[in-house]
Homo-oligomer: A and B are copies of this chain.
Amino acid sequence: MTQKFTSTLNLKSGHVDLSHGGGGRAMAQLIDELFVKHFDNDLLRQHNDQALFNVPAGRLVISTDGHVISPLFFPGGDIGSLAVHGTVNDVAMSGAKPLYLAAGFILEEGLPLADLERIVISMAAAAKACGTPIVTGDTKVVERGKGDGVFITTTGVGVVPDGVTISGDRAKSGQAILVSGSIGDHGVAIMAGRENLQFETSIVSDSVALHELVASMVAAAPADIHCLRDPTRGGLATALNELAQQSGVGMVIDEARIPIKAQVKAACEILGLDPLYVANEGKLVCICSAAAAETLLAVMQQHPLGRDAAIIGEVIDDPHGFVQMTTAFGGRRIVDWPVGEQLPRIC
């Protein structure tokens, strides 16, 4: 049942005000004419404060991710699509099939409703493409100067297929390290946008949902995938260090095997960034048994999102948990945890 409002939301020139977070008529209208309209599913349409769904007995995963990216719109996406992809990917990195999303919006007073609509439409399209409806949500509004346009915290649930056990603590010496494609695209696209840099070839974010790539990998070698992680904030270097630490192992990767687009490499040089530390939003790291590495590589390369996949190194015994890299010059260097913050609000 839809409430009758005296006029429709002014999506052309209206702005978010505090009443949109007040629980009253203005909030109900925002929810009906924007969120329910575009997210469009039966659970949300019930207007309850929670969504109810049936699950078979089994293993469920839950993951949550706040999105505070600046700017809200960037080459290759926006905070809406990113908020879906980021959480779908976190769910998928357990090997799970993502099922449903919940979305919490924190809006800043004064945000143009046209911007919010654009974000919601993008988010709805991403959720639909992923097959993960946004079934429940929440909207808060903070005063001008107490937020920054829109923050979106998205939570996802998914179900893990039988026979699949993927966790960051399962890497073991001798296993292979794979990456699903070229690194650094997302971070460089955002930074280039912020700095107003024009590159010869346009660099766009790789923001995309990886659950179907994961599903094809899991189907091919369910018991051989030990770790999956999407190298977002902090990039490939951080993801590998996290996995090395969790598993209590070391790693050696080969610089020459890490796929990086030429224009991303060039942009990193201009921006003074190390691509190993630059965020990705559509790539994954996989650690698998050595025996299954070539099979998984082939499966990944056959998938549109894994065409440039590569085996980039292997897990070794190392009580210090160091990630080392064989450089193009043949030496080895430690790829350490990032210390400061070179790319704030990249996701």
Contact = CB atoms under 8 A, between A and B. Distances in A.
6 contacts: A52-B167, A64-B104, A140-B345, A142-B148, A142-B345, A147-B147
B66 A106 contact: yes
Nearest to A63: B50
Contacts of A340: 19, 22, 24, 26
A57 interface: yes
B19 A104 contact: no
Q: What is the copy number of this chain in the assembly?
A: 2
A27 B346 CA distance: 15
Interface residues of A, number: 92
A344 B246 contact: no
B25 A64 contact: no
A282 interface: no
A1 B96 CA distance: 24
A272 interface: no
B52 A61 contact: yes
User: Top 3 A-B pairs ranked by shortest CB distance?
Assistant: A23-B234, A23-B233, A24-B338
Interface stretch (A41-49, A119-127, A258-266, A323-331): A41-49
B62 A106 contact: no
A17 B62 CA distance: 28
A49 B65 CA distance: 9
Interface of A: 1, 3, 17-19, 21-28, 46-68, 70, 90-91, 93-94, 96, 100, 102-106, 135-143, 145-148, 151, 153, 155, 157, 160, 167-169, 229-230, 232-235, 238, 242, 245-246, 248, 279, 321, 337-345, 347
Given A46-B169, A50-B94, A155-B102, A21 B59 contact: no
Contact of A341 (B19, B93, B148, B169): B19
Contacts of A65: 104, 138
Contacts of A104: 64-66, 104, 153, 155
A234 B22 contact: yes
Nearest to A151: B106
A340 B1 CA distance: 22
Given A59-B53, A68-B142, A93-B50, A238 B23 contact: yes
